[in-house]
Structure 1
Amino acid sequence: MMNREFLYEMIQTPSPSGAEYELQKKVIRYMKPHVDTFLSDATGNVISVLNPSSPCKVLLAGHVDEIGLMVTKITESGKLRVVNVGGIRVPLYLGQKVRVLTESGVVHGVVGVTPSLLDDRYLQADDLFVDIGATTKEEACQFVKPGSYLVADTDYRELLNDCICGRALDNRLGAFIVIEALRRAKELGTTVGTYSATTVGEETTLRGAIWAAKHVKPTLAIVVDVTYATDYEDAFSEEVGDIRVGGGPVLANGSIIHPLLNKTLEQLADQWSIPLQYEAAPGRTGTDGDAIHLRNDGIPLALVSIPIRYMHSGSEVGSLKDVELAIELIARFLLRVEEGLDLSPYKNLL
């Protein structure tokens, strides 16, 4: 059984892109009893390793960073001017409570905007300010400085039908899945080299994925992220597809996705009665997979995603059932992978 309490702890731990260290420390403590060793690097990745002597290496990657804001300056009236860190949806943050992460602790604030801009549908992050209650620049500077990160002041709530809402389900869910899939595969007796990377920086630079792939040099990779659910009004299903929260994990089809990996995942899903959904990714996927695939002469890649509603808001909605099914699917995949696996599309012709 997956450990819901640790997932909830992950969601409650702020981890804006560039400030992932506290959450990564919790991942290390949680995974230490279950792994043979860890790999890490100066950029902040944590890679939980099982069966490091195996010549077949499967990299599982889920990013731990989240979107947020960063303080750029403090005004004479004590308000904080901010810029985007990774792509918040600006109108959804108006009036939201936020946490300013400082060296001395959390400072609470509220997102505001100049009244003349309230009806502007094209608001940008630098149109916003954060009110922490200070009345002067000098007072605010006692608590906050430029470069401080901010995240939405929301954690999680359990909803009906085994759903949850919360801040940063993108991509706490994926990071949680890759470490829980390792734990589950270990229970099942996998012998393949498993490298579960909780990567940093996906929302801003993809730096974590680049360095994880370069460090591990995997035989193949499965990236786990979130994708857009379209099971509510005006959700652009024509662009994304019919994807439902609670409908099962989503496989991507596209130019960087290896069809033999997808075929194997489909066979396992059928064998273990795991429902699958599909999305089109004809070019870049917008995930760590884009960076991983281009390392080491082209790493064979599959992308498994969890549908969520209201992506890049302060309260995204997803299904714990989808999370549990993705863990089982990937764990079963780690049992199926054979050492010396030949993923050449021309292996019977050359």
Structure 2
Amino acid sequence: MSTYKVPAFLAELLHARSPSGYEAEAQAVFDRHVKPAADAYANDALGNRIATLNPKGDPVLMLAGHMDELGLIITFINKEGFIYFDTIGGHDLSVISGRRIIIQTANGPVKGVTGKRAIHLMDDEDRKKVPKKHEIWIDIGVRSKAEALERVAIGDVATYDHELELISGSIGTARAFDNKVGAYIVGETLIRLAKEKKPFAAKVVSVATSQEEIGVRGATTSAYLVNPHIAVAIDVGHATDHPDCDNRRFGETKLGGGPILCRGANINPKIYDRLLRAAKKIKIPYQIEADPRPTGTDARAIQMGRGGVATGLVSIPLRYMHTPSEVVDLEDVERCVQLLVEFAKSLEKGDYAHW
């Protein structure tokens, strides 16, 4: 049994169920842990959480980690009470069926399972196919549509019933490391900066963003609101140290190898250099990835905010992204917090990383 101690803030975020557009449980966790450390704290119309430290500082640094996750949304209930759904975010349809799930309803959680036709009832051709969404359903153990509607409603959302578990030392598995680790990192960075005795120049705004999984929507509006000079998005990245992953195509990054620093068109080169210098200064391991286009993260929205923002991206190596059992080394998460604390303290007044 692992004896690694998971920070309570991170554990609570991982337990919170927060599909895109339904982030209330994660919001409450962020409120509880981050608001007391902030000089100013706000929410907005999209459900972002915006915590500010050193409000008169310069430059303005925005740290963004999204708190939403994948989910299922109820769209139809048939006469026998079986529930049909659409997906929130980018699911692998081959892993949806046969899962225990929890539906969030006005009257509390409702448990169910995702079902499809058993393999014994398929012919050879059917067995070769990935089921379509309308060929999978949710079973909550009722016998009619009326009985189902007493418990759930159209528009209720569900998440997989897979909780955080440590499987070896600091290596853990959970359904939504993507991207509860990012929301934790930006919040924890602000908490630690608030305890710094030596003044630093920057105004730091840590944002737990909403609706990243359906189009970086919360980052788009919060970047406009915060109006930062400099920003760093924190998300998960693919650890490519497992079988059936060609490094020639996907690069070389590994679990436990430290935070991943991104380079490419989405990344301001001066911000990359400063993140690199910060990692070297505090002597943590780090990894580098290259992306030639706008990344699939909040960084792509923030960089294009208003007149443009000097943006960086730091990712936590993760195996099995967008599955019910994602895997992360929590030491990489801690190293990322240390990196961002050092990066924030290193910023100098009036330097906005223009190039």
TM over 0.5: yes
In the alignment, which of 64, 82, 87 is matched to residue 84 of structure 1? 87
Q: TM-score, normalised by structure 2?
A: 0.93
Alpha carbons of 1:308 and 1:27: their partners in 2 closer, same or farther (altered >3 Å)? same
Q: Does the alignment pair 1:313 with 2:323?
A: yes
Measure, in 1, the Cα distance between the counterparts of 2:209 and 2:134: 28
Q: Deviations over 1:185-237 (max 9, x none)?
A: 23334341000000000001321001110101001100000011111100233
Change (3 A) 1:158 1:141: same
- 2:159 and 2:299 map into 1 onto residues whose CA distance is 25
Q: Does residue 171 of structure 2 align to residue 163 of structure 1? A: yes
Whichever residue aligns with residue 277 of structure 2, its letter is: Q
**Aligned equivalents of 1:127 and 1:255: distance in 2?**
40
Deviations 1:163-188 (A, max 9, x none): 11001100000000011111222333
Give the match for residue 324 of structure 1.
Answer: 334
- Alignment-derived partner of residue 33 in structure 2: 30
**1:180 maps to which of 174, 188, 209:** 188
Which runs of no fewer than 5 residues in structure 2 stay unpaired? none
Instruction: Write out per-residue CA displacement over residues 283-316 of structure 1, whole angstroms, 9 at most, x where no aligned residue.
Output: 1210111111111111111000001111111111
Instruction: Please point out which of 293, 297, 301 is paired with 2:307.
Output: 297
Q: Is residue 2:216 matched to residue 1:206?
A: yes
The alignment status of 1:279 with 2:289, answered yes or no, reads yes
User: Structure 1 unaligned runs (5+)?
Assistant: 346-350
Amino acid in the other structure paired with 1:13: A
- Classify 1:64/1:277 alpha carbon distance in 2 versus 1 (closer, same or farther; 3 Å): same
Letter in 1 for 2:19: P
State whether structure 2 residue 277 is matched by structure 1 residue 267.
Answer: yes
Deviation at 1:118, TM superposition (A): 6.2
The Cα shift of 1:128 comes to: 1.5
Aligned ranges 1:236-255 → 2 under 5 Å = 236-255=246-265
CA distance in 1, matches of 2:251, 2:68: 26
Between the aligned partners of 2:293 and 2:135, the Cα distance in structure 1 is 32
Aligned residue-pair number:
344
CA distances 1:38-63 after superposition (whole Å, capped 9, x unpaired):
12211100011101111311000000
2:142 to 131, 134, 139: 134
Give yes or no for contact 1:178–1:224 (8 Å, CA) kept in 2: yes
Offset at 1:120? 4.3
Question: In 2 relative to 1, CA 75–244 (structure 1 residues): closer, same or farther, beyond 3 Å?
Answer: same
Question: Matched residues in 2 for 1:121 and 1:300: separation?
Answer: 45
TM-score normalised according to structure 1 size: 0.95
- The amino acid that maps onto 1:129 is W
Q: Is the 8 A contact 1:185 1:332 kept in 2?
A: no
SS at match of 1:139: helix
Aligned letter for 1:217? N
Alignment partner, residue 257 of structure 1: 267
What do the CA deviations read for 1:97-155 (whole angstroms, capped 9, x no partner)?
Answer: 00111110111111112344962443333331111111111111111121110100011
Correspondent of 1:64 among 42, 62, 67? 67
1:343 Cα deviation from its structure 2 partner: 1.7
CA distance in 2, matches of 1:114, 1:291: 41
RMSD of Structure 2 on Structure 1 (CA): 1.5
Which of the residues 16, 21, 43 maps onto 1:18? 21
Match of 1:124 among 108, 132, 143: 132
Given that residues 184 and 328 in structure 1 are in contact (C-alpha distance below 8 angstroms), is that contact kept between their aligned partners in structure 2? no
Structure 2 Cα separation of the partners of residues 175 and 292 of structure 1: 16
Structure-2 change in CA distance of 1:55 and 1:132 (3 Å)? same
Do the aligned partners of residues 159 and 61 (structure 1) sit closer, same or farther apart at CA in structure 2, a change above 3 Å counting?
same
Give the whole-Å Cα distance in 2 for the aligned partners of 1:52 and 1:3: 31
Moved more, 41-50 or 117-126: 117-126
How far is the alpha carbon of 1:268 from its aligned partner? 1.4
Tell me, yes or no, if structure 1 residue 220 matches structure 2 residue 223: no
Matching residue of 2:205: 195
Aligned residues: percent identity?
Answer: 36
Q: 1:6 aligns with which of 5, 9, 32?
A: 9
Does the Cα contact within 8 Å between 2:59 and 2:201 map onto a contact in 1? no
Q: Is the 8 A contact 1:84 1:126 kept in 2?
A: no
Query: Residues of 2 paired with 1:42 and 1:83: CA distance?
Result: 24
Report the secondary structure of 1:302's partner residue.
strand
108 and 24 in structure 1: CA distance in 2 versus 1, 3 angstrom threshold: same
- The answer for the alignment partner of 1:348 in structure 2 is none
Give CA deviations for 1:20-45 in whole Å, capped at 9, x if unaligned: 02221221121122110112211100
Determine the C-alpha separation between the residues in 2 that align with 1:122 and 1:160: 32
2:63 is the alignment partner of 1:53: no
User: Residue 240 of structure 1 contacts residue 279 of structure 1 at CA under 8 Å; is this kept in 2?
Assistant: no
Change in 2 beyond 3 A, CA 1:265/1:202: same
Determine the C-alpha separation between the residues in 1 that align with 2:352 and 2:45.
33
